[in-house]
């Protein structure tokens, strides 16, 4: 991609200098010789006018084809990417790992492995930017956006916020620490055993401590504590709310006839604003969990729900024909 | 020196009499005028004031950025300063600068009309502009706002700063813009003198006409959008706030649906000026008149379908990104057609390197560089890295400051004798022009490099390794500031003591030079019959004659 950057900058330089020099060259060649000089009437041949269109168009389209192919790659995380949840808030970054630990402002990733970040914001729009990785994605309140990268070598790289978010915008910085795969595993297990908690940045009241197991375990515990399982079964049986078994990846029919794909965004929305999308056949009775769950807790519950997948080919309770769940991205 | 009586008789022109400047000298005769020329001059005075104000904000920002850590003032002040810089420069200077000041003055002259179609509406547009400006200044004095000129939600709906009066000001300013647009469209359709067919319109008029179409069609969307933000702030509407079921990205779509075409509201008039100046100073017919004229309309049209390129990393689908990317490139094609035709106009011309021509050279370089980096930004994958960095800042300053201010200064120097009947000091003009072009490059080329190295925009503090380039940029901005001060001084001197000039000092064939400089109140005592194209330099004969209608 950097080669494309340089190719584009180079063409730009050459063109603008050429135009400027042509103007000066014409000035030298065609200086005004008397105050009453007249000039011939010249109009371009149609072919020349066509060249004025076709030559830049060809260049621009070449740029576009190269750029768009890269863009598709940038927007398509590989299926085996490791998920990490990111929450932006004024003015810090929080990360929740599938293995359990969570951290503030420091993101640890293994080298040589694709990483997908599932990002959301608690307040205004932020933008996750790591200049060295050439990735940037806005982080929006009320929805998830994703970005992925694969770090090649171990090292430390700055995370910047690229969308203006207030007084602390320019100090909303973090760091990606790329570790060798084994080092990363060591770090995760150390976190898991509670040996090295809270080494990444200042703890805040919203972090729940100490980490107990991975996100799925935390989610299972939280679902008990918060009373989720009083209405949502995890074994496929019907209850007050839709069952969580095979929920992730399902296509649900809503009470107003729309169909939604159940993804991280939908699950989070249903926790925060339960009446926004009611599944057909259920009553709007669920309380909102907005301001009751911290970001990593939401991520934990989402991960728990994602883990509840049966192997059987299933019939969706609200979607007619049986189909195999699609787990793609 | 006025035109000789002999020349006047040849034209069949009436004897010399009072110019619009001396026809009534009381303050009320200006404030209550319906003369398009006086409205134009009042607009000019106002926009120059706001250029100064916006420039002071810009220099304050650049001074802070000399050091990476906190310096001079705190982050909140810094955020207010760049917001006010953006709002002042865009809504109070750039949008009205060329159309309302120079367009008002020369457009009716260029089509042989005595005034615009709706003189009262024209004066009203000035007062509406003043009302909007007062609201904006009131907001600035009472603490200012800190959202950036883009007002992105949900930040703008939650910030405690004085955003409401500022939004109201922008809303009101929009009406002024619409009034000017309607006025020009009707004027061009209905008030052309005998002999001025559509294919004989000066190229300036074509571009201003295209600008007016955008003003009329796009500005209402901005008005509605800022109104929605204001209502959301006051009444908690929940249109953009996700906590109330709204969508913050919806705001960005609304906002850029106006604000991208608004770029062409600013650039097309600049292209208008350059089209005129290239022909006059090369003394040559435009190479491809129709290509230049229709590409203006093309830019106005395509400009409405490119807004999505501001949302490449905002969560828009990859498919949409690709479509908006390729649509944006058509603007680049139309611009390229213009550039090649301007350079072609110089071919076998008779070029005189006066101050406006220096600005033409600057304009061409900045427009091509700024335009091509714009196309580069529309190349989706590249934007991911460059988006919201100084690369973008440098890109749009190349277009807005580079191209548009070059055109503004070219217009100021080209029509100064027309407007005030006096000439300025040519030597100082060239000195200031070189200073400005040099200072401009020194300011913004480092910013391209900063952006490419990953420095995000709107940063009060920045990582230390960016300092060297920031210092270079500030040095350039200081040079740029000096250039403006020099221009301001010698033009003020010229206004009072400059030598009087003849009617047509550039020996241009443009129709606005058929009347005296400065023109009498009603422009033409008898309407001229136009017999030649406005850029026909095969002969010396005037392009029109006065005859009884």
Q: For B374-402, how does the pLDDT look when each residue is reduced to its tens digit (9 = 90+)?
A: 988 888 888 889 999 999 999 999 999 88
How far, in Å, CA of A58 to CA of A42, rounded?
27
Q: What is the mean pLDDT of residues B425-454?
A: 93
Residues of chain B in contact with residue A37, where contact means CB-CB under 8 angstroms, are 283, 350
**Residues 6+ away with beta carbon under 8 Å from A31:** B350, B351, B352, B353
Give yes or no for residue B265 having a pLDDT over 70: yes
Tokens of A199: 């080494």
pLDDT confidence of B233, banded at 50, 70, 90?
confident
Task: Please choose, from the candidates A62, A45, A16, A8, the residue with its C-alpha nearest in 3D space to the C-alpha of residue B336.
Answer: A16
Cα-Cα-Cα-Cα torsion A239, A244, A247, A248, nearest 10 degrees, comes to 160
Give the residue from chain B lying closest to A159, CA to CA.
Answer: B454
Residue from B151, B373, B380 to probe the interface with A (highest A Cβ count within 10 Å): B380
As a whole number of angstroms, the distance between CA B407 and CA A129 comes to 36
Residue A166's region, left for phi above 0, alpha for psi from -120 to 50, else beta, is left
Give contacts of A20 with chain B, Cβ < 8 Å. 361, 364-365, 368
Which segment of A42-46, B126-130, B182-186, B363-367 scores lowest on mean pLDDT?
Answer: A42-46
**The pLDDT of residue A188:** 81
Residue of B67, B68, B155, B244 best to disrupt the A interface, most CBs of A under 10 A: B155
Quick check: is B72 in a domain? Answer: yes
Looking at the predicted structure, is the pLDDT value of residue B7 above 60?
no
A259: alpha, beta or left, given left = phi > 0 and alpha = psi -120 to 50? beta
pLDDT of residue B51: 95
Of the candidates A11, A22, A41, which has its C-beta nearest B285's C-beta? A41
Winning range, highest mean pLDDT, from A39-48, A270-279, B446-455, B527-536: B446-455
Tokens of B398: 């190349």
- Closest to B285 measured CA to CA, from A288, A100, A267, A41: A41
Please list, in sequence order, all residues whose beta carbon lies within 8 angstroms of the beta carbon of residue B436, skipping any fewer than 6 positions away: B362, B405, B406, B409, B480, B483, B484, B487
Residues of B in contact with A74 (CB under 8 A): 381, 384
Determine, yes or no, domain membership for B8. no
Q: Do the strands A92-96 and A145-150 form a parallel or antiparallel pair, or are they unpaired?
A: unpaired
Tell me the per-residue pLDDT of B336-347, one tens digit each, with 9 for 90 and over.
999 999 999 998
User: Which residues in chain A land under pLDDT 50?
Assistant: 195-199, 201-211, 314-329
Of the candidates A228, A198, A205, A203, the residue with the CA atom closest to the CA atom of residue A298:
A228
CB atoms within 10 A of CB A61: 12
For residue range A204-235, what is the model confidence (pLDDT) as tens digits?
333 334 445 678 888 888 888 787 887 888 88
Can you give the pLDDT at residue A212? 56
- Look at residue B163 and tell me whether its pLDDT is greater than 80: yes
Q: CA of A315, closest CA in chain B: separation in Å?
A: 30
CA distance B315 to chain A (A): 7
Predicted local confidence at residue B86, as pLDDT: 94
What is the pairing mode between strands A92-96 and A102-104? Answer: antiparallel
**pLDDT category, B548, cuts 50, 70, 90?**
low
pLDDT at residue B455 is higher than 80: yes
pLDDT of residue B234: 86
On whether residue B430 sits in a domain, the answer given is yes
CA B313 – CA A128 distance, rounded (Å): 10
CA-based R_g, chain B, Å: 23
Task: Select the more confidently predicted residue: B236 or B4.
Answer: B236
Q: Is residue B3 part of a domain?
A: no
Backbone angles phi, psi at B152, to 5 degrees: -60, 135
For residues B97 and B91, give the distance between their C-alpha atoms in angstroms, rounded to a whole number: 10
Per-residue pLDDT, A208: 38
B151: left (phi over 0), alpha (psi -120 to 50) or beta: left
User: Are β-strands A126-130 and A155-161 bridged in parallel, bridged antiparallel, or unpaired?
Assistant: antiparallel
Q: Which two tokens stand for residue B455?
A: 């420095």
Range of the domain at B292: 19-546
User: B7 at the A interface (CB within 8 A)?
Assistant: no
* Cβ proximity of A301 and A222 under 8 Å: yes
B138-B142-B147 Cα angle (round to 5): 90
Task: Answer yes or no: is B13 within a domain.
Answer: no
Compute the half-sphere exposure of residue B212: CA atoms within 13 Å on the CB side of its CA.
Answer: 22
CA distance A205 to A185: 27
- pLDDT value, residue A221: 82
Domains of chain A and CATH, by start: 82-192 (2.60.40.420), 215-307 (1.10.760.10)
Measure B307 CA to nearest chain A CA, in Å: 17
Residue B220 lies in a domain: yes
Parallel, antiparallel, or unpaired for β A155-161 and A174-179? antiparallel
| Candidate from A275-279, B131-135, B435-439, B489-493 with smallest mean pLDDT | A275-279
Strand-pair category, A106-110 with A174-179:
parallel
Category of A308 on φ-ψ map: left (φ > 0), alpha (ψ -120 to 50) or beta: beta
Span A3-55, pLDDT tens digits: 778 888 888 888 888 888 888 888 888 888 887 788 888 888 888 889 889 98
Which of B7-21, B468-482, B500-514 is predicted most confidently? B468-482
The two three-digit tokens of residue A179, written as one number: 């570790």
Please state the rounded mean pLDDT for residues B451-477.
Answer: 93
Residue of A8, A10, A63 to mutate when probing chain B, most B C-beta within 10 A: A63
Residue B429 to residue B370: CA distance in whole angstroms: 25
Whichever domain contains B75, its CATH number is 1.20.210.10
Q: Taking CB atoms and an 8 Å limit, are B456 and A52 in contact across chains?
A: no
Nearest CB among A15, A123, A137 relative to B372 is that of A15
Q: How many domains does chain B have?
A: 1
Radius of gyration of chain A (CA): 27
């Amino acid at each position: 991609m950097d080669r494309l950057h340089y190719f584009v900058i180079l063409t730009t330089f050459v063109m603008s200098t050429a135009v400027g020099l042509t103007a000066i060259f014409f000035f030298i060649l065609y200086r005004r010789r008397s105050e009453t000089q007249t000039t011939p009437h010249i109009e371009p041949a149609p072919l020349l006018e066509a060249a004025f269109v076709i030559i830049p168009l060809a260049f621009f389209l070449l740029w576009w084809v190269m750029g768009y192919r890269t863009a598709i790659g940038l927007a398509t995380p590989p299926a085996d990417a490791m998920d990490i949840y990111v929450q932006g808030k004024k003015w810090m970054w929080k990360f929740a790992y599938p293995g359990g630990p969570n951290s503030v402002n420091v993101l640890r990733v293994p080298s040589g492995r694709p990483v997908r970040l599932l990002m959301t914001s608690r307040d205004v729009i932020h933008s996750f930017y790591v200049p060295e990785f050439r990735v940037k994605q806005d982080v929006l309140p009320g929805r998830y956006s994703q970005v992925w990268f694969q770090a090649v070598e171990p090292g430390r790289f700055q995370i910047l916020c690229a969308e203006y978010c207030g007084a602390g915008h320019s100090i909303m910085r973090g760091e990606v620490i790329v570790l060798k795969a084994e080092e990363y595993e060591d770090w995760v297990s150390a976190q898991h055993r509670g040996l090295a908690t809270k080494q990444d940045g200042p703890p805040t009241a919203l972090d729940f401590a100490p980490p107990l197991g991975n996100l799925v375990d935390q989610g299972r515990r939280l679902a008990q504590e918060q009373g989720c399982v009083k209405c949502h079964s995890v074994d496929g049986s019907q209850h007050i709310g839709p069952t969580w078994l095979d929920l992730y990846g399902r296509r649900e029919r809503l009470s107003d006839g729309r169909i939604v794909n159940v993804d991280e965004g939908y699950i989070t929305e249903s926790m925060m604003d339960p009446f926004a999308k009611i599944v057909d056949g259920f009553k709007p009775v669920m309380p909102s969990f907005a301001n009751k769950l911290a970001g990593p807790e939401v991520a934990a519950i989402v991960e728990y729900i994602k883990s509840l997948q049966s192997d059987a080919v299933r019939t969706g309770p609200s979607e007619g024909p049986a189909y195999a769940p699609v787990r793609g991205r | 020196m006025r035109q000789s009586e002999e020349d006047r008789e040849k034209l069949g022109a009436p004897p010399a009499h009072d110019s619009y400047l001396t026809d009534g000298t009381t303050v009320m005769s200006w404030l209550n005028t319906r003369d398009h020329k006086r409205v134009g001059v009042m607009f000019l005075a106002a926009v120059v004031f706001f250029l100064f104000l916006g420039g002071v904000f810009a220099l304050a920002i650049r001074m802070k950025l000399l050091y990476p850590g906190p310096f001079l003032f705190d982050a909140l002040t810094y955020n207010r300063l760049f917001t006010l810089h953006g709002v002042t420069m865009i809504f109070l200077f750039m949008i009205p600068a060329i159309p309302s000041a120079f367009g008002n003055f020369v457009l009716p002259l260029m089509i042989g009309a005595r005034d615009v179609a709706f003189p009262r509406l024209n004066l009203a547009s000035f007062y509406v502009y003043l009302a909007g400006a007062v609201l904006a200044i009131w907001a600035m004095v009472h603490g200012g706002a800190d959202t950036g000129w883009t007002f992105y939600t949900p930040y703008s709906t939650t910030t405690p700063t004085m955003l409401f009066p500022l939004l109201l000001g922008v809303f009101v300013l929009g009406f002024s813009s619409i009034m000017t647009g309607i006025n020009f469209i009707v004027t061009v359709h209905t008030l052309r003198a005998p002999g001025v067919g559509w294919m004989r319109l000066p190229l300036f008029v074509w571009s201003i006409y295209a600008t007016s179409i955008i003003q009329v069609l796009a500005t209402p969307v901005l008005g509605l959008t800022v109104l929605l933000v204001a209502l959301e702030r006051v009444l908690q509407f929940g249109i953009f706030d996700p906590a109330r079921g709204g969508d913050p990205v919806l705001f960005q779509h609304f906002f850029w649906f106006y604000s991208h075409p608004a770029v062409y509201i600013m650039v097309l008039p600049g292209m208008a000026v350059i089209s005129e100046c290239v022909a006059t100073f090369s003394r040559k017919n435009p190479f491809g008149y129709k290509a230049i004229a229709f590409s203006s309309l093309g830019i106005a049209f395509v400009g409405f379908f490119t807004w999505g390129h501001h949302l490449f990393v905002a969560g828009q689908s990859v498919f949409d990104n690709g479509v908006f990317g390729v649509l944006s490139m058509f603007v680049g094609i139309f611009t390229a057609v213009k550039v090649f035709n301007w350079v072609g106009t110089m071919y076998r011309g008779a070029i005189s390197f006066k101050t406006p021509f220096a600005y033409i050279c600057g304009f061409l370089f900045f427009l091509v560089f700024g335009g091509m980096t714009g196309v580069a930004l529309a190349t989706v994958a590249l934007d991911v890295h460059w988006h919201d960095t100084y690369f973008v800042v440098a890109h749009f300053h190349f277009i807005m400051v580079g191209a548009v201010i070059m055109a503004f200064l070219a217009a100021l120097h080209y029509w100064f004798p027309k407007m005030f009947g006096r000439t300025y000091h040519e030597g100082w003009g060239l000195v200031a022009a070189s200073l400005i072009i040099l200072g401009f490059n020194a300011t913004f080329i480092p910013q391209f490099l900063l952006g490419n190295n990953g420095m995000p925009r709107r940063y009060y503090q920045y990582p230390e390794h960016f300092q060297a380039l920031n210092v270079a940029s500030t040095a350039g901005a200081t040079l740029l500031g000096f250039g403006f001060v020099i221009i301001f001084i010698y033009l003020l001197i010229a206004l009072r003591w400059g030598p009087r000039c003849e009617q047509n000092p550039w020996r241009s064939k443009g129709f606005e030079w058929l009347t005296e400089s400065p023109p009498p109140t009603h422009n033409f005592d008898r309407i001229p019959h136009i017999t030649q194209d406005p850029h026909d330099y095969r002969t010396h004969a005037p392009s029109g004659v006065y005859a009884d209608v």
